Amino acid sequence: MSLIHASPLLRRALQADALVSGAAGLLMLLANQPLSTLLGLPQALLLGAGLAMLPWCAALLWLARREALARPAVWAVIAVNVAWVLDSLLLLVSGWVQPTPLGVAYVIAQALAVVVFAEMQFFGLRRSQAALA
**Domain extent for 79:** 3-130
Whole-number Å distance between alpha carbons of 88 and 45: 12
pLDDT score at 1: 65
Q: Mean pLDDT in the chain?
A: 95
pLDDT, tens digit (0-9, with 9 covering 90-100), for 107-132? 999 999 999 999 999 999 999 988 75
Q: Is the pLDDT of residue 37 over 70?
A: yes
pLDDT score at 133: 53
Whole-number Å distance between alpha carbons of 78 and 10: 11
pLDDT score at 49: 96
Dihedral angle of Cα 41, 46, 48, 49, to the nearest 10 degrees: 110
Whole-number Å distance between alpha carbons of 51 and 46: 9
Among residues 30, 33, 72, which one has the least CA distance to residue 54?
Answer: 30
pLDDT, tens digit (0-9, with 9 covering 90-100), for 72-101? 999 999 999 999 999 999 999 999 999 999
Q: What percent of the chain has pLDDT over 90?
A: 94
Q: How many domains is the chain partitioned into structurally?
A: 1
DSSP string over 25-84: HHHHHHSHHHHHHHHT--HHHHHHHHHHHHHHHHHHHHHHH-SSEEHHHHHHHHHHHHHH
pLDDT score at 130: 84
Mean pLDDT of 66-71: 93
